[in-house]
């Protein structure tokens, strides 16, 4: 069994922080997935039960939670492609830092497309 490590392998900067963010968003998405399968399973109980629970997903607070969830998924997706490129593309390791900025750029563009639409759906008084 290992004792306390003598030093640290963490090197900071873009490489480490994108890795940390990938882990944090991954765990978050995983736990939502467990809950999401459970809430969807209510369609086997009754239409009323499903509608009651899914109704709570349509409140303003949960609407903001969905925005955060989508943000986590979008980052994890684009950064995951970056990880695969670092591993499989010959020039990937050299461009890993540039690729993180591309990931963040695509993240901003995607969220700019999603957020107004979603927030209008949630807060738009339908």
Residues in binding contact with another protein, number by CB under 8 A = 40
Among 13, 23, 91, 97, binds another protein (CB under 8 A): 23
- Token pair for 117: 């639409």
Asked if 50 and 10 touch (Cβ cutoff 8 Å), the reply is: no
**Residue number, 7 or 47, with CB nearest to another protein:** 47
* Residue 45 CB neighbours (<10 A): 10
Instruction: State which of residues 6, 11, 34, 90 lies at the interface with another protein (CB under 8 A).
Output: 34
The CB-of-86 to another protein minimum distance in angstroms stands at 10
The full DSSP string for 39-84 is HHHGGGT-HHHHHHHHHHTTSHHHHHHHHHHHHHHHHHHHHHHHHH
CA neighbours closer than 13 Å in the CB half-sphere of residue 114: 17
Q: Contacting another protein (CB under 8 A), which of 7, 11, 44, 112?
A: 44
Q: Using the rule CB under 8 A, is 11 a contact of another protein?
A: no
> What are the tokens at 56?
């709570």
Q: How far is the CB of 14 from another protein (least distance, A)?
A: 20
Q: Which of 10, 20, 40, 108 binds another protein (CB under 8 A)?
A: 40
Task: Rule CB under 8 A: say whether 106 interacts with another protein.
Answer: no
């Amino acid at each position: 069994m290992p004792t306390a490590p003598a030093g640290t392998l963490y090197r900071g900067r873009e490489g480490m922080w994108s890795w940390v963010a990938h882990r944090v968003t991954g765990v978050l998405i995983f736990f939502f997935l467990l809950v999401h399968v459970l809430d969807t399973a209510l369609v086997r109980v009754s239409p009323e039960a499903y509608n009651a629970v899914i109704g709570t997903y349509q409140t303003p607070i949960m609407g903001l939670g969905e925005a955060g969830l989508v943000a986590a998924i979008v980052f994890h997706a684009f950064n995951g492609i970056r990880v695969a490129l670092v591993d499989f593309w010959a020039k990937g390791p050299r461009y890993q830092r540039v690729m993180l900025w591309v990931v963040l750029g695509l993240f901003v563009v995607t969220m700019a497309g999603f957020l107004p639409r979603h927030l209008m759906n949630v807060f738009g008084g339908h």
